[in-house]
Amino acid sequence: FDEGTLKRKRAKEAARSVLPNALGSDGMVTLNARAARHIIEIRSSPHADLSMREFAYEVYKVLKPWWPAVLADAEEVDTGDHVPAIRFSRSKV
């Protein structure tokens, strides 16, 4: 993204975070290894909304001790802010 596009994207993201649909909720999720890898890689991308990037990174941190073999090829990539992107060297489990 160019800088102007990124600023507009971040402004819209900030506006959505204060609207009523940004309220948290409790829930349970089940997923398999392939889905977990997909969610972590896609949603931790620098192009994703910051809140989704934070969520994906937290999912990665929680799953890493539980599934070390599944996440063994994960690489944390510095994005210049406090949330790294996660990249996998293999495309499938």
Query: Using H for helix, E for strand and C for coil, what is the string for 20-64?
Result: HHHCCCCCCCCCCHHHHHHHHHHHCCCCCCHHHHHHHHHHHHHHH
Q: Mark 16-27 as b/e (b = at least 16 C-beta within 10 Å).
A: eeeeeeeeeeee
The rounded distance, in Å, linking the Cα atoms of 91 and 37 is 9
Pair of tokens at residue 20:
């009523």
Check residues 26 and 34 and name the one with the higher pLDDT. 34
Higher-confidence residue: 92 or 63? Answer: 63
- Map residue 30 onto helix, strand or coil: coil
Beta strands (DSSP E) in 1-93 are 74-77, 85-88
Q: What is the pTM of this model?
A: 0.72
pLDDT band at residue 23 using 50, 70 and 90 as cut-offs:
low
Does 93 score more than 50 pLDDT?
Answer: no
In this prediction, residue 92 has a pLDDT band, given cuts at 50, 70 and 90, of: low
Q: With a cut of 90, say whether residue 14 has pLDDT above it.
A: no
Across 4-15, average pLDDT: 82
Tell me which residues are annotated as active site: 43
